[in-house]
Structures are given as C-alpha cells and as structure tokens.
Amino acid sequence: MAVGADVIIIGGGVVGCSAAYYLAREGVSVALFEKDSVASHASGFAFGGVIKVLGEKTWDVCGQLSLYSERLHFELGESLEDESGVDTGYRRVPHVSLALTEAEAQSYRREYLLRADDHSIDVRWLSYGELSHIEPRISPDLDGGLYVGEAYDVEPYRFTLALWQAAERRGASLHNREVTSLNRSGDRVTGVRAGGESFDAGAVIIAAGPWSGGALTQLPISPLKGQIVRLRAPGPPVNVSLWWNGDYATSKTDGLVWAGTTEENAGFDDSPTDEGRDAIIASVVRVLPYLENAELVRQTACLRPVTPDGLPIIGPVPCLEGVFASTGAGRNGIQLGPAMGRAAADLALGLDSHVDLGFADPARFGAV
C-alpha cells in the first residue's frame, strides 16, 4: 500500500482544486489525483463568468449556494494571488442579458421589476439607447438588455491553477495518475487504486467532472460539449459581459474577445469543430456586427458535467461510507466551484455545510 492522505481528491478541476485548497487551509493532509494535468479540461477552458443568472429556473433551488460561492470568490479575489503567486484575473465585469426579441424584452423587464426593490442587487433594464452608451458597437436591432452591475469574471485556467498552487504550498500533494477504482472494506472506503497501486485515505472526494460516473460511481453524470472562440478585433475592448440565447462575448484580460458557445451531446469527444466555430461566429456577429472581420486566434472545446435534473450533485455517495461527490455544475462550475469544493471539504471533515445542500443530495438518484 502506497502512502495515502487524510483525504484523497479525484479530479484537478475547479471543484477538486477548491476542495484541496480549503482542506489544506485546515491543515489536513490532502492528495489530489489528476489523470491529465490540473485545469486541463472544462475548468481550464471555460468562459470564466462569475455571474448570478437571474431568472434561471435553477435559481430558486441553488441560489443560496450561488450567493455563497460569490462570497468565496470575493474572498479569494482578495487573497489567492498572495497565497499562490498566480494572478487569477478576478475583476468586476457588468453583465448584460440582451433581448433579441420583444418577448425577451418583456420577460427581462418583468425580471427587473421583480428585483427592483432588492437594493442588494444592482439590476436595471436598459433600452437600446442606454445600452449603446455602455457598448456602442451592439447591434441596433436589439431591444435592450437586463444589466447586472455586480458580476465578476476570472481567468478560469489561472483561477484553478491558483487554488491548486495555494493548496500545494500548504502541503497538498499531486499524483498524476488516473484513479481506476475505489478500495473498500465492507461498506467503508479505504482509499483508491491508481496506476496499479493502492493509496489509503480516511475519505475520498469525487470531483472528476463528467468522468465522475463510470468506473468511480454509478452517478448519472454526462458530458455536454461546449466550444469557445477567441477573436482579435480592432478597437477598444468590450468591457461588459454580453449574454444572449445561451451565447456570450466579452474581452478577456488577454485582450481578445472570447465568444461562445455550443451545447453538444458528443460523448467524451472534446475536439473543436468547424460547425461549432461557424455557429458561434454567426451568433456573435448578430450582436456585435463589428466582429465580422475579426481574426480567429484560437478555438477550444471542453465538456461540462451535467446531471439529469440540471442540478449539481454534492454529498455523501450512498452505500459507501467516506466517499463524497461534488460535481455536475453544468454551465456554472466556475461560479459554483469554490462553494462546491468548500462543501466537499466540510463533508469530508464531518462538518456541517455552510448552506443547505438537500437539493444536491446524490441519494435523489437512488442507490448509486
């Protein structure tokens, strides 16, 4: 038996690295197992929006988790660069949900009226005229948009790496190995098997993104592919995060306009495609016509971990004591990552979670 740790984490994405960070901060011995490299999948290639998605159907259910994660992002924005030596690019970038049709405009106006008395959220309905003062290159064909002032952005790769580096500085260890199975004694986990060796642990956190089912558990997690293009365009940066019809665009700290996205059921194939590129460019040009002749600098694709009910899975894995899952954040994993990692860390330490996680209980899918 190889030397293990108090807690083994499977998966070096934003959730696993957040869990490692919070455990290492408590002085717990942590071993992170990553089959490829830290942030080499969705957590390294996401858009990086840290955004309250008002009106989303899941908001009522996991809004508290989202708000809690926003607070953690804020704290990390203050401290993580010093703790890790990595600039995470955390910054405030106002968010605008654009209305492409009159029906959308009406729905956003209703949303605004619902939130108008809540002074904790800076939310406003902006007509096209008002919007054009913020970003004059937005197409005049649009009706306006719902503006949310308190929205943030990170560089997802550097953010995930920073969480890991900060954990490593506190003694966490990285094993570049694929975990092939969990070891057990009766109903209790005793560690993991990776690269033909066994590693013991008191608790195991499964944060393996879309790979969290299959060999590790029977959790119903599947991959949903998404693509992004990075464009070089003349003129000043787009200083707001624009969202429409599930697509988005903003200028990132590398000076490029990042635009996305697609939702594709392509199994575990995470290669970029010409169809994905063309669809994204057609969509972004509709909203920001000045990008028509922009230079394509890079195209990426990665896999979101999704669940059948669209909600994350966070909690003890049924029938196997000592195993905790934290995955299934879908399109919101960068935003929810710190809270999901923190929750998994608390569970592994036997502590109560900071927010009610009943909605995310893995047991809702039956015995897994």
Q: Which residues bind ligand FAD (CB under 6 A)?
A: 10-16, 33-36, 40-43, 46-49, 178-179, 207-209, 211, 216, 226, 228, 260-261, 302, 304-305, 327, 329-335
CB of 129 to ligand FAD, least distance (A): 28
CB of 349 to ligand FAD, least distance (A): 20
Give the nearer residue to ligand FAD in terms of CB position, either 125 or 341. 341
CB of 138 to ligand FAD, least distance (A): 20
CB of 6 to ligand FAD, least distance (A): 18
Give the nearer residue to ligand FAD in terms of CB position, either 179 or 288. 179
Give the nearer residue to ligand FAD in terms of CB position, either 226 or 318. 226
Contact between 126 and 138 under an 8 Å Cβ cutoff? The reply is no
The amino acid sitting at 132 is S
DSSP 193-250: EETTEEEEEEEEEE--GGGSSTTS-----EEEEEEEEEEE-SSS---SEEEETTEEEE
Nearest in space to 95 (alpha carbons), one of 292, 286, 244 = 244
74 torsion bin: left (phi>0), alpha (psi -120 to 50), beta (else): alpha
- Nearest-CB residue to ligand FAD? 333
Give the nearer residue to ligand FAD in terms of CB position, either 14 or 348. 14
Give the nearer residue to ligand FAD in terms of CB position, either 86 or 105. 86
Give the nearer residue to ligand FAD in terms of CB position, either 132 or 173. 173
| Residue 194 Cα to chain centre, angstroms | 26
DSSP 293-355: GPEEEEEEEEEEEE-TTSS-EEEEPTTSBTEEEEE--GGGHHHHHHHHHHHHHHHHTTPPPSS
* Backbone torsions φ then ψ of 205, nearest 5 degrees: -105, 125
Q: What is the DSSP pairing of strand 144-148 with strand 95-99?
A: antiparallel
CB of 59 to ligand FAD, least distance (A): 14
CB of 327 to ligand FAD, least distance (A): 5
Q: What is the DSSP pairing of strand 257-260 with strand 222-232?
A: antiparallel
CB of 238 to ligand FAD, least distance (A): 15
The amino acid sitting at 248 is Y
For 142-209, the three-class secondary structure string (H helix, E strand, C coil) is: CCEEEEECCCEECCHHHHHHHHHHHHHHCCCEEECCCEEEEEEECCEEEEEEECCEEEEEEEEEECCH
Give the nearer residue to ligand FAD in terms of CB position, either 104 or 264. 264
CB of 153 to ligand FAD, least distance (A): 8
Give the nearer residue to ligand FAD in terms of CB position, either 105 or 242. 242
CA distance 168 to 165: 5
Q: Give residue for tokens 């005229």.
A: 129
Give the nearer residue to ligand FAD in terms of CB position, either 191 or 330. 330
CB of 114 to ligand FAD, least distance (A): 23
